[in-house]
Structure 1
Amino acid sequence: MARGNEESANGSWKKQVDDIKKIFELKEILGTGAFSEVVLAQERSTGKMYAVKCIPKKALRGKESSIENEIAVLRKIKHENIVALEDIYESPNHLYLIMQLVSGGELFDRIVERGFYTEQDASALIKQVLDAVNYLHSLGIVHRDLKPENLLYYNQDESKIMISDFGLSKMEGAANDIMSTACGTPGYVAPEVLAQKPYSKAVDCWSIGVISYILLCGYPPFYDENDSKLFEQILKADYEFDSPYWDDISDSAKDFISNLMLKNPEKRFTCDQALLHPWIAGDTALRKNIHESVSRQMKKNFAKAKWRQAFNATAVIRHMKRLQLGSSLGSSIDSTQHRNQNQTPAPIKSQSVDVSSISHKDYASQRGSGAKEKRCTRPSTVTTIITGSK
């Protein structure tokens, strides 16, 4: 297949096609988003399988910059741990992104299915993520939505992790722009993003810290059924290594996470620093099997395929104002709303994860009684926050 990554003589990087079905046999739908669907497709000329992201042009009206941003990011990237954009086609009614097919399933699903899982396994997973994100950062790209759902296995046989979904990615410093949009998924997003302060690639390092935390215990570091309390925890970087779940985890692992989940982004580990930490580069990751406890918590705390939901910017801003996170956040939201009050809001992609509510009182009672398990199961939906265009 002739690749569409190179621009044609007229400057267009999209190939014109009347009917994509002439080139690909479209099979089952792999997933759906706010304004697109991903379809398994087989190239007729070679028999090779791809994932084709099909985007109706009518759904792009008012969101052209978002998809153009994703394409611009994907076209710059070539890394073994990042899902590749292979080609781009355009028909009269659709835009088609021909993506590398990744078939190994989601990160948590594979861990749960395993019978043996250790700190060393978690360390090897995070090293791959760090390598890929470090590569992105070297290109000036900030992912901004790193989370387990966006970490996929390449296939069923290999342990290679692939980073996907660049819909919220941003070129750092593009057009002298300062990143300040509150976007991402709150359970994984850095405090400075949620507070709508200017931020940088350090936000990705925070997210990697959150993912590392979950990989070692099976539950998220921030949790509350009440969104405002959840946000307050994140803004304060208020998390713990609770007993008994962290009793058998190494001090090195805790130190690694603590340096990634620092409230101050200037003091937070960069990817380069994290890659040099003994838990990643050395031999401090323990070999003890922690599969039983971690997989049990993952199954309790992460519901599958319940995180897609669409919102518009105005509705999200109103939601955040109701939470009353503080005067600085409120004034920032007010100014955003003022800038957008004469604009017609366009629907945008949003995601949520179902996270079981856990309270610190639960852990206190466990420590006092010696009980090994006490978990609340009532789900709390945590929605993605996107409040601007930067």
Structure 2
Amino acid sequence: VVRLREVLGTPSSVYLVLDRVAGVELFTLVERHGALPEPFVAPLMAQLCHALAALHSIGVVHCDVKPENLIISHYPAEGREADGESSLPPQLTLIDFGYAATLAEGESCEGLAGSPEYAAPEVLTWLSRDRRGEPYGGPADVWSAAVTAHVLLTAELPFELPDAEDADEEALAEAARLTSLSFEQPEWALAEQARAWVAACMAPSQADRPTASEARALPWLQRHPGDVTE
């Protein structure tokens, strides 16, 4: 998780001073290379689950987990694999806490947050103007982590949301809630444990999803535990 150094305030604004994180967005790697290898992705997901578990343990929900908000350091740049950088294991940093919420025990998040393509079904219920949405919390981050894993492994979203300009709020929410994970992409052929992990973390009901700690303990990530910097 990106480190907070200082909080500064004026009568009209609050400024967060954060570490500058060197590296590249995971989404940039997908743009450059397409689907990424499972042995590369799994340790990164283990690190992400570790970060989310730490946040959730202190009542913080990120609310915008996606490849654009994950910076990877120590990634060997193209043509520079022999310069010594590749000797360090890739390190993941979760950034951009603009949508994050801090919850006391028993509290839940309310309102729309994050990016619709990565948002859990319960988050998308807040798109409706006709009724109150469903309260949510840490399980929404777990859903977003699973969508992120799917994108990294296949270079595709697990489902296709209707265009927000052409669809009503209910259509957007139902697209995520009723998604059927087909795992038809060839990248899934030899990744049975990865399929099981994504399916578990994308359970339509938030009550059926593992916590971030439980997700890290599932077989796929136990086989690729990752290197975590505390």
For the criterion TM > 0.5, the same-fold answer is: yes
2:23–2:71 Cα contact (<8 Å) kept: yes
- Alignment pair present for 1:282 and 2:223: yes
For residues 34-79 of structure 1, give each alpha carbon's deviation from its aligned partner in whole angstroms, at most 9, with x where no partner exists. xxxxxxxxxxxxxxxxxxxxxxxxxxxxxxxxxxxxxxxxxxxxxx
TM-score, scaled relative to structure 1: 0.47
What does residue 133 of structure 1 align with? 52
Post-superposition offset of 1:108: 2.3
More strand by percentage:
1
Q: In structure 2, what is the equivalent of residue 182 of structure 1?
A: 112
CA displacement at 1:244 relative to structure 2: 4.0
Q: How many residues align?
A: 201
Partner of 2:184: 243
Change (3 A) 1:121 1:190: same
1:98 deviates by 2.2
Structure 2: gaps of 5 or more residues: 76-84, 126-132, 226-230
Q: Which residue of structure 1 aligns with residue 29 of structure 2?
A: 110
Q: Which of 69, 73, 86 is matched with 1:150 structurally? A: 69
Distance 1:109 1:93 in 2: 35
Task: Report what 1:347 is aligned to.
Answer: none
- Go from structure 1 to structure 2 and tell me whether the alpha carbon gap of 1:268 and 1:120 turns closer, same or farther (over 3 Å shift): same
Deviations 1:71-114 (A, max 9, x none): xxxxxxxxxxx111112345688754321011212112235556
Q: Tell me the amino acid that sits aligned with residue 98 of structure 1.
A: V
Q: For residue 226 of structure 1, report the CA deviation from its aligned partner.
A: 3.0
How big is each residue's C-alpha offset from its partner over 1:155-213, in whole Å with a ceiling of 9 and x where there is no partner?
66452111111111111237x74422122211111111111201121111111111111
Question: Partner of 1:88: helix, strand, or coil?
Answer: strand
Q: 2:156 aligns with which of 204, 207, 219?
A: 219
Tell me the equivalent position of 1:101: 20
Task: Please state if 1:172 is matched with 2:91.
Answer: no
| Whole-Å separation in 1 of the counterparts to 2:200 and 2:97 | 25
Cα distance in structure 2, aligned partners of 1:266 and 1:115: 33
Which position in structure 1 is the counterpart of 2:228? none
Taking the aligned partners of 1:177 and 1:115, their CA distance within structure 2 comes to 39
Task: Evaluate the alpha carbon distance shift between residue 155 and residue 104 of structure 1 in structure 2; reply closer, same or farther with a 3 A threshold.
Answer: farther
Q: 1:279 to 1:181 in 2, by over 3 A?
A: same
Rounded Cα–Cα distance in structure 1 between residues aligned with 2:109 and 2:187: 35
Distance change in 2, residues 1:100/1:243 (3 Å): same
Report the equivalent of 1:59.
none
Distance 1:221 1:139, change over 3 A: same
In the alignment, which of 245, 253, 260 is matched to residue 201 of structure 2? 260
1:272 paired residue among 213, 223, 228: 213
Question: For residues 49 and 200 of structure 2, what CA distance do their matches in structure 1 show?
Answer: 14
One-letter amino acid matched to 1:210: V
- How far apart in 2 are the matches of 1:126 and 1:180? 26
SS at match of 2:186: coil
Structure 2 equivalent of residue 160 of structure 1: 91
Instruction: State whether residues 111 and 117 of structure 1, in contact with CA within 8 Å, keep that contact through their aligned partners in structure 2.
Output: yes
**Where do residues 313-324 of structure 1 align in structure 2 (5 Å cutoff)?**
none
The amino acid of 1:273's aligned partner reads: E
Kept in 2, the 8 Å contact 1:105–1:155? The answer is no
Contact kept, 8 Å, 1:192 with 1:199, in 2: the verdict is yes
Name structure 1 gaps, 5 residues minimum. 1-81, 285-390
Match status 1:121 vs 2:40: yes
Aligned in 2, Cα 1:178/1:248: closer, same or farther, shift over 3 Å? Answer: closer
